[in-house]
Structure 1
Amino acid sequence: MWHLTLNRRERLTHDRNGFSEKSRTQLKRSGILKMAITGAETMVDEDHGEPFVLRATKIAAVVALYWFISITMVFLNSYLLDNKDLNAPLFVTFYQCLVSVGLCGLMQLLSMIKPDFVNVPAVNFQLKTSREVLPLSIVFIGMITFNNLCLKYVGVAFYTIGRSLSTVFNVLLSFIILKQSTSLQALVCCGIILGGFWLGVDQEGLAGSLSWSGVFFGVLASACVSLNAIYTKKVMPAVDGSIWKLSYYNNINACLLFIPLILVFGELGQLSRFNRLTDLKFWGMMTVGGVFGFAIGYVTGLQIKFTSPLTHNVSGTAKACAQTVIAVVYNSSSKSFLWWTSNMMVLGGSSAYTWVKSREMQKTTRKAPQEPDKEKLLQGEKGDAGV
């Protein structure tokens, strides 16, 4: 019996090691870009033999790249949306989606020419799949549109506060739609975020710079971010679980849906009166904004690859803090102690929520394998008793 048990363990160990080696080989072939655009959260560590200094330098470079692209994208969008001569936020967002579609096509072309450098799945557009993804695309349009409108009315300095309720909506909508409960610790973190949000709104109002339109759009954007995560899970089977395909269909649907919205809200008239339609600098800035919007997915995956999902969230929180400080310094603004306190409450509550959820996921992961093992052990005992 012991001999049989040892043989089983040896086979299991051999299978696991074989799977691990196979996984490493596949991940090395696919590279970082595939991980970033297919939605993988972690990759096998390939740098065990590297000196600490070299690995630390790589991590610092990747985090710096993520910060640069993310912060630049926010400031660039703020610049484009704050254009006094062109009040057409829907058109700006539409053009960025159009650039993303073009870059998706370019990536597929590069994948065929240089498969060792770029490895993405080929996507043949199908109307049935497009219809299945449509509900998510509607939420996606709301998310990016309200996000840009919030940025247009509140500016970069208050942007972190204005868009801070995504975590709260995530908990609320997960309970209403998915019937998922939330721990007391996570609810306390949400309470801190809510407190920071209201304090920030209050301080912005006292300073005389509050835009209720910006706050309203920020709240809607936060709700759409949470809905986007929920609907993404629902439509994943339609695209075979591929984030790359989902992004492709999402952006195509968004481009088509934006056209009637641009007409209904009269932005076509705004464009016809805009005197910089032939200005290459304007279109260059618009295109760069679209490229940065597309690139954020790549650098997000890159940062997760070199650190971890938890570290990525902490880095994102610290980036938001730095982004706020840069905006205040750039605009030579004077903010009160309570205004800064509201930002720290939002960022601290978000970081604490990330840590709490990470601990809960680790506990769930540890418990999950034990139950099947226990079931197998009981089955084995019954079998032995029967013999």
Structure 2
Amino acid sequence: MSALQVAGVVAFYMGSALVMVFVNKAVLISAPGLPLTLLLLQLIIAVVLLKLSALFSRGVIEIPRFESDAARKLFPVVFVNIVGLVFNTLCLRGVDASFFQIARGLVLPLTIIVSSVHTRAMPSSKVIFASVIVTGGFFLGVAPSSKVPLIAAPSLLSLAYGFLSSLFIAFHAVLIKMSLPYCNNSSIELAWWTNAGSAAMLLPFVVLCGELSTLRDMMADPHWDATVFLWGTLVTGFFGFLLCIAGLLSIRVTSPITHMFSSAARSVLQTVIGVTYFGDLITTNRAASIIVILGGTMFYTWIKAVETPPPPRNATDIEKSGEKVEDMQDDIVFQAPEERE
């Protein structure tokens, strides 16, 4: 694989992820009362695109048949996925796009903790140190600052949503490994089950939370411009599908280090775009927080690259082994409305 092709895959991944963040933020600003509806529509779009891909891929992509036994075994990963996505959406709705990466800054420490409890294995001292760095970066970013007006400061509820989103991402990372054998070690089959199952679980809550009534009232309001909501939902649903492809391509042609550096570059671009186009407030504390979180995460990635043998480079071998690069696991399943790191 040439350097140009690798660069193309990285750019594809970064572009898709950035579109997901900012278009979702624009949609949530336009329709703050419809977070679950937005998420449901994106999941449905992902399922439809998966089905169309299977129809036109000539057997390359296969959609599994419904089996009650498989559905029962996959219930934990589907449940954790949709709960995490709901908290993810609520967090993004309540904070600036640039601050969103700080609010979810505890993904790595929580993933290390959950994985250690699951495997009953103590992480190395270097891994713990990386986790401490990231945790310190998180608290640096959420600490009160006199430079942040009270009206612009994130609420405790939004921070709680960010923490819960990070926690469920950590559970999700562990459950993916446990669930792949029930999907013939196929990430595509797991993506189908996860998105279809998540949509089915979410639908009753959209109704119970009154969002259908809210949507009806908003559509009847002549002052509401539905263009942002409709087009934003279509765009993010489509790019959520593309993120799955981008994740698979990243595993095939890049290393964990390359993937992490692309994630770091994306975080910088996310901050710049947030400040430029959304008027996000960046203080010295917040900028330092992003840098510290990225530094700790990149240090962790380097440690894992040194401690862990390289994964199989062939996509077929990855499917057969059921193994995923840890830092890319959550990109395999469609990450709507915002890709999970």
Match of 2:156 in 1: 212
Q: Which runs of 5+ in 1 are unaligned?
A: 1-46, 48-54, 366-387
- The TM-score, its normalising length taken from structure 1, stands at 0.74
Match of 1:235 in 2: 179
**Any conservation in 2 of the 1:80–1:286 contact (CA below 8 Å)?**
yes
Give the superposition deviation at 1:65.
Answer: 1.8
After superposition, the C-alpha distances for 1:179-215 in whole angstroms (9 at most, x for unaligned) are: 1220111111111111111110015675132222221
Correspondent of 2:201 among 257, 267, 271? 257
If asked which structure has higher relative contact order (CA below 8 Å, sep 6+), I would say 2
**Any conservation in 2 of the 1:160–1:324 contact (CA below 8 Å)?**
no
Q: Give the distance between the partners of 1:243 and 1:132, measured in 2 at CA.
A: 16
1:1-387 to structure 2, matched below 5 A, reads 47=1, 55-84=2-31, 86-112=32-58, 119-203=60-144, 207=148, 208=150, 209-275=153-219, 282-362=229-309
Give the superposition deviation at 1:278.
Answer: 10
The 1:183–1:244 alpha-carbon spacing in structure 2 relative to 1, beyond 3 Å, is same
Give the superposition deviation at 1:333.
Answer: 4.5
Give the superposition deviation at 1:88.
Answer: 1.5
Please say which structure displays the higher CA radius of gyration: 1
- The TM-score, its normalising length taken from structure 2, stands at 0.83
Please give the secondary structure, in 2, of the residue aligned with 1:160: helix
Q: Give the distance between the partners of 1:93 and 1:261, measured in 2 at CA.
A: 11
Give the superposition deviation at 1:77.
Answer: 0.8
Give the superposition deviation at 1:122.
Answer: 4.1
Moved more, 147-156 or 61-70: 61-70
Q: Give the distance between the partners of 2:116 and 2:252, measured in 1 at CA.
A: 31
Q: How many residues align?
A: 306
The 1:242–1:164 alpha-carbon spacing in structure 2 relative to 1, beyond 3 Å, is same
**Any conservation in 2 of the 1:150–1:159 contact (CA below 8 Å)?**
yes
Q: Percent identity?
A: 29
**Any conservation in 1 of the 2:27–2:228 contact (CA below 8 Å)?**
no
- Deviating beyond 4 angstroms after TM superposition, the runs of 4 or more aligned structure 1 residues are 203-206, 276-281
What amino acid maps onto 2:142 in structure 1?
Answer: V
CA RMSD of aligned residues (A): 2.3
Q: Which runs of 5+ in 2 are unaligned?
A: 313-341
Please give the secondary structure, in 2, of the residue aligned with 1:274: helix
The 1:345–1:240 alpha-carbon spacing in structure 2 relative to 1, beyond 3 Å, is same
Q: Give the distance between the partners of 2:78 and 2:146, measured in 1 at CA.
A: 34
Q: Give the distance between the partners of 2:272 and 2:230, measured in 1 at CA.
A: 29
**Any conservation in 1 of the 2:30–2:229 contact (CA below 8 Å)?**
no
Give the superposition deviation at 1:230.
Answer: 1.0
Match of 1:17 in 2: none
Give the superposition deviation at 1:280.
Answer: 6.4
**Any conservation in 1 of the 2:24–2:232 contact (CA below 8 Å)?**
no
Match of 2:323 in 1: none
Q: Give the distance between the partners of 1:332 and 1:121, measured in 2 at CA.
A: 44
